[in-house]
Amino acid sequence: MSPTPVSLETRDLTINFGGHVAVNAVSCVFRPGELTVIVGPNGAGKTTYFNLISGQLTPTSGTIVKAGRDITRISPSARARAGMGRAFQLTNLFPKLSVLENIRLAVQAQKGMGPRFFRAASSFRELERRAEEHLAAARLQSVAHLPASALPHGDQRKLEVALLLAMEPDIFMFDEPTAGMSVDEAPAILDLVAEIKKDTSKTILLVEHKMDVVRALADRIIVLHNGQLVADGAPEAVMGLPIVREIYLGVPAESAA
């Protein structure tokens, strides 16, 4: 097997909130073309781990390396410009701006056209065209001109994911993308994730509570428990481990046999 390049790595990543170690020495390597699902019970440190990687939190110790570059200390916006995109667990939009404006902001951030406000209208049209494409991909055309706050929850989740897609990052981080969605709505989001997965240059990290939802998509599962990495491997192998069945599925080890 030829070694695939590493796109993202965390080394002994640790954060200590005044005595409570939320993420404890997590070392993990992520590669392009791989969709890793991060699972664990509530309070296991999944979202904190994500916040460390995308820069909303600064680790107490340990390092984060993206494609050979140490990004441990750079700002969230610099990480975004370096190709790391993140969708949030709690919907995190620009409520008063329209759906299209929300998406255009994500396109614009990535294209770096922000401050050049006297640019020719034609380059704005290019921005608008790309925003429309992402709007269509997320099937949000019919609500393009509504303020984001006016959307029903399911569509807000779609918009949240659409913003991440519009950033066109090379590392995608989804934090419970289907949170609060009905069984009917969730597949629409997962289709978007599956679409990204077709491009093997992309690295995908996905936090998910409901394992059954993403089992079909996962290439690999890592399990966090009390801030520590307790299992890492192919989905079937990981889900079969007694410790995982016990802590994650709540099945006592003996009865699982």
Length of the chain in terms of residues written = 257
Residues in contact with other proteins, counted by CB under 8 A, come to a total of: 45
| Footprint (CB under 8 A) of other proteins, residues 77-106 | 77, 80-81, 86, 88, 92-97, 101, 104-106
Contacts of 105 (CB under 8 A, 6+ apart): 94, 97, 163
Among 74, 109, 196, 211, binds other proteins (CB under 8 A): 109
* Residue number with CB closer to other proteins (155 or 176): 155
**Contact status: 126 vs other proteins (CB under 8 A):** no
**Contact status: 185 vs other proteins (CB under 8 A):** yes
**Contact status: 233 vs other proteins (CB under 8 A):** no
- Evaluate whether 214 touches 190 at the Cβ level (below 8 Å): yes
Sheet holding 84-87, edge to edge: 84-87, 171-175, 203-207, 35-39, 220-225, 228-233
Q: Which residues of 151-163 are buried (b: 16+ CB within 10 A; e: fewer)?
A: beebbbbbbbbbb
Beta partners for 207? 38, 175
* Residue number with CB closer to other proteins (9 or 101): 101
Sheet holding 69-70, edge to edge: 20-30, 8-17, 61-66, 69-70
**Contact status: 76 vs other proteins (CB under 8 A):** yes
Angle at 71 between CA 193 and CA 101, to 5 degrees: 45
* Residue number with CB closer to other proteins (1 or 183): 183
- How far apart CA 138 and CA 36 sit, in angstroms, is 22
**Contact status: 147 vs other proteins (CB under 8 A):** yes
- How far apart CA 227 and CA 182 sit, in angstroms, is 29
**Contact status: 75 vs other proteins (CB under 8 A):** yes
* Residue number with CB closer to other proteins (75 or 200): 75
- How far apart CA 202 and CA 195 sit, in angstroms, is 11
Residue closest to 164 by CA, chosen among 45, 64, 80: 80
* Residue number with CB closer to other proteins (24 or 108): 108
Binding pattern for the stretch 34-73 against other proteins, x by CB under 8 A and - elsewhere: --------------------x-x-----------------
Q: Shortest approach of other proteins to residue 179 CB, angstroms?
A: 16
Among 6, 21, 74, 188, binds other proteins (CB under 8 A): 188
* Residue number with CB closer to other proteins (202 or 225): 202
Segment lying near other proteins (by CB under 8 A), choices 27-35, 60-68, 143-151, 191-199 = 143-151
User: Which stretches of the chain are assigned E, i.e. beta strand?
Assistant: 8-17, 20-30, 35-39, 61-66, 69-70, 84-87, 171-175, 203-207, 220-225, 228-233
Q: Catalog residues that contact other proteins under the rule CB under 8 A.
A: 54, 56, 75-77, 80-81, 86, 88, 92-97, 101, 104-106, 108-110, 113-118, 124, 127, 142-147, 150, 152, 154-155, 163, 167, 184-185, 188
